Structure 1
Amino acid sequence: MDPRSEVLLRQAELFGGRTLLAGLPADDLLGQLPEALGWSWHAGDQNLLQARFAGRSDFAVTPPQTDFETAVLFLPKSRELTGYLLDALASHLPGKLLYLVGEKRAGVERAAKQMSIYGTPRKLDSARHCQLWQVRVDQAPAAPELASLAQRYSLQLDDGPLEVVTLPGVFSHGRLDIGSALLLNHLQQLPGGHLLDFGCGAGVLGAVLKRRYPESLVTLLDVDAFAVASSRLTLAANGLEANVINGDGIAAAPSELSAILSNPPFHQGVHTHYQASEDLLRQACRHLRKGGQIRLVANRFLKYPPLIEQHIGTCHTLADADGFRIYQATRA
C-alpha cells in the first residue's frame, strides 16, 4: 500500500461516502473505500486500476462529471499542476471539504498553503513521512479552463519557427530542455516509414519529425494525459497531423517502426525511476522493423550503452555535450 493511502486509511471514516480520489496510486485504496471513485491521468496507473476496479476510475485531464461529496488530491510534482487540480476540484465542492495528501519531501506543506484561497487549511494527520490536510471550500473558484493555463514559446529552427504549447505538469513546461535541444540537432537521415516519438511530452520532437519527414507516419506516445493534450495542441498550432496516444511505456507502441526517437523519462514524482527507459531499450526490437533505428538522448551518467548493445545492436554516440549524449543503434 502506498504510504499516502495508508495515511488516508488512518482517517477512513472521513472518506466513507462518494469520495473522488484524484491522482490516486494503483494500490488497494479503492478496495478499502468501496464508495470512492478514482481520477487518474497516468496511463499505467489507470490500466492497473481498471483491471482491478473496472468502471471506478476515470482517465482524463478534467474531473469526471459524476457527482462526488468530497475529494482528495494526491500531490503531484508540479506546483502549476497542483494549482489547476485544486481549482478544478474546489469548483465542484462549494461548502464542502477538500483534502490534500502528499509526502513531506514533495512539498505538501507548501502545497497546502495554495488551499488558503478557499478557506483555512488544517493538518489532520502526519505519518509515513506524509501529511493529510483539509480545507472547507468557503470560496469556491470558477472551474478552470485548462487551455488558458497553457504556456507557448517559439523555437527558431532551420526550416522555420515551431510553436510549442505546454500544459501544467508536462515535462519542461514553458521551455525547451537541454537534452531535447541536443536531439533536435541530430535527426538527419532517418529511415522512411513509421516514426515514434516515445515520451513525447509537449510534442516538440514529434512535430519536428512530421515537418521534416512529411511522407512518414508519425506517432507520439506518452504515459501522461496532460502530455498527450499538450502534444495535440502543439501539432495543431503548427498545422500538423500525427497519431497521438496515451500508453504505459513502449509496450503500447505500434509495431514495424522504422525509427524510435526519445528523450526518455527517468523521474516519477520526486523519485528516480528508470523502469520506462530500461523497458524501452529491452523491448525496442519488438517494435522496430529490421533495419529500424533507435536514437535517444540521455544524461551522460546513465549507463544505457550496455543495454543498447545487449538488446538492439551496436551503440554509436552521435554527440556528447552539456552533460548529455545522443545514442543510436540499428536493429539487425
Structure 2
Amino acid sequence: MDPRSEVLLRQAELFQGNLLLAGLPADDLLGRLPNAHGWCWHAGDQAVLDARFAERSHFGVNVPGRGFDSAVVFLPKSKDLADYILKAVAARLPGAEVFLVGEKRGGIESAAKQLNAFGKPRKLDNARHCQLWQVTVGNAPAAPDLESLAQVFEVPLADGPLKVVSLPGVFSHGRLDRGTALLLEHLDKLPSGHVLDFGCGAGVLGAAVKRRYPHNTVTLLDVDAFATASSRLTLTANGLEAEVLTGDGIDAAPMGLDSILSNPPFHVGVHTDYFATENLLRKARQHLKNGGELRLVANSFLKYQALIEEHLGICAVKAEGQGFRIYRAKRG
C-alpha cells in the first residue's frame, strides 16, 4: 500500500461518501473505499486499476463528469499540474471538502499553501513521511481551461522554427531540454519508414521528424495523458499529422518499426525510476525491423551502452555534449 493511501485510511471515516481520488496510486485504495472513484493520467497505473477495479477509474486530462461529495488530490510532482488539478476539482465542489495528500520530500508542506485560494486549510495528519490537509471550498474557482494554461515556445531548426505546446506537468514544461536539443541536431540519415518517438513529452522530436521527413509514418508514445495531449497540440500548431498513443512503455508501441527515437525519462514523481528506459532497451529489438535503428539520448552518467549491445547490437556514441550522449544501434 502506498504510504499516502495509508495516511488516508488512518482517517477512513472522512472518506465514506461519493469520493473522487485524483492522481491515485495503483494500489488497493479503491478496494478499501468502496464509494470512491479514481481519476488517473498515468497509463500504467490506469491499466492496473482497470484490471482490479473495472470502471472505477477515469483516465484523461479532465476531471470526471460524474458528481462527487468530496475529493482527495494526490500531490503531483509539478506545481503547475497541482494548481490545475486543485482548481479543476475545487470548481466542481463549492462548499465541499477537498483534501490534499503527499510526501514531505515531494513538497506537501509548501503545496498546501495552494489551498489558501479556496479557504482556510488545516493539517489533519502527519504520518508515513506524508501529510494530509483539508480545506472547505468557500471560494470555488472557475473551471480552468487546460489549453489556456499551455506554455508555447519555438525551437529554431534548420527548416524553420517549430512551435511547441507544453501543458502543465509535461517534462521540461515550457522550454527545450538539453538532451532533446542535442538529439535534434543529429536526426540525419534516419531509416525511412515508420518512426517512433518514445516518451514523446510535448512532441518535439516526433513533430520535428514528421516535418523533416514528411513521407515517414510517425508515432508518438507516452505514458502520461498530459504529455500526449501536448503532443497533439504541438502537431496541430505546426500543421502536421501523426499517430499519438498513450500507453505503458514500449509494450504499447507498434511492431515493425524502422527507427525508434527517444529522450527517455528516468524519474517518476519524486522517485528515481529507470524501468521504462531499461525495458525499452531490452525490447526494442522486438519492435524494430531487421536493420531498424534505435537512436537515444541520455545523461552521460547513465550506463546504457552495454545494455543496448546486450539486447540489440553494436552500439556507437553518435554525439556527446552538455552532459549527454546519443547512442545509436541497429538491429542486425
Equivalent residue runs for 1:78-93 within 5 Å: 78-93=78-93
Shift of 1:302: 0.3
Shift of 1:223: 0.2
| 1:252 counterpart = 2:271 | no
Aligned twin of 2:201: 201
Q: TM-score, normalised by structure 2?
A: 1.00
Aligned residue for 1:170, secondary structure, equals coil
Write the letter of the residue equivalent to 2:56.
R
Shift of 1:156: 1.2
Q: Distance in 2 between matches of 1:183 and 1:11?
A: 49
Write the letter of the residue equivalent to 2:91.
S
Q: TM-score, normalised by structure 1?
A: 1.00
Q: Deviations over 1:170-209 (max 9, x none)?
A: 0000000000000001110011110000000000000001
Q: Distance in 2 between matches of 1:221 and 1:18?
A: 34
Q: Distance in 1 between matches of 2:162 and 2:187?
A: 15
Aligned twin of 1:112: 112
Q: Distance in 1 between matches of 2:154 and 2:301?
A: 30
Q: Distance in 2 between matches of 1:265 and 1:305?
A: 16
Shift of 1:155: 1.1
Q: Distance in 1 between matches of 2:286 and 2:33?
A: 39
Shift of 1:281: 0.1
| 1:3 counterpart = 2:3 | yes
Aligned twin of 1:330: 330
| 1:315 counterpart = 2:315 | yes
Q: Distance in 2 between matches of 1:60 and 1:67?
A: 17
Write the letter of the residue equivalent to 2:288.
L
Q: Deviations over 1:280-308 (max 9, x none)?
A: 00000110010000000000000100100
Q: Deviations over 1:68-118 (max 9, x none)?
A: 100000000000000000000000110000000000011001111001010
Write the letter of the residue equivalent to 2:228.
V
Structure 1 segments of 4 or more deviating over 6 A? none
Write the letter of the residue equivalent to 1:13.
E
Write the letter of the residue equivalent to 2:38.
G
Aligned twin of 1:149: 149
What is the RMSD computed on CA atoms of the aligned residues? 0.4
Shift of 1:17: 1.0
Aligned twin of 1:62: 62
Aligned residue for 1:157, secondary structure, equals coil
Give the unaligned 5+ runs of structure 1.
none
Write the letter of the residue equivalent to 1:161.
P
Q: Distance in 2 between matches of 1:204 and 1:321?
A: 19
Q: Distance in 2 between matches of 1:153 and 1:203?
A: 12
Write the letter of the residue equivalent to 2:250.
I
Q: Deviations over 1:4-37 (max 9, x none)?
A: 0000000001111110000000000000001100
Q: Distance in 2 between matches of 1:158 and 1:260?
A: 22
Aligned twin of 1:96: 96
Aligned twin of 1:189: 189
Aligned twin of 1:178: 178
Aligned residue for 2:161, secondary structure, equals strand
Aligned residue for 2:264, secondary structure, equals coil
Q: Distance in 2 between matches of 1:21 and 1:45?
A: 13
Aligned twin of 1:139: 139
Q: Distance in 2 between matches of 1:42 and 1:117?
A: 27
Aligned twin of 2:217: 217
Identity of aligned residues (%): 68
Aligned twin of 1:296: 296
Write the letter of the residue equivalent to 1:150.
A
Q: Deviations over 1:26-69 (max 9, x none)?
A: 00000000110000000000000000000000001010001110
Q: Distance in 1 between matches of 2:178 and 2:199?
A: 16
Q: Distance in 2 between matches of 1:306 and 1:12?
A: 48
Shift of 1:212: 1.0
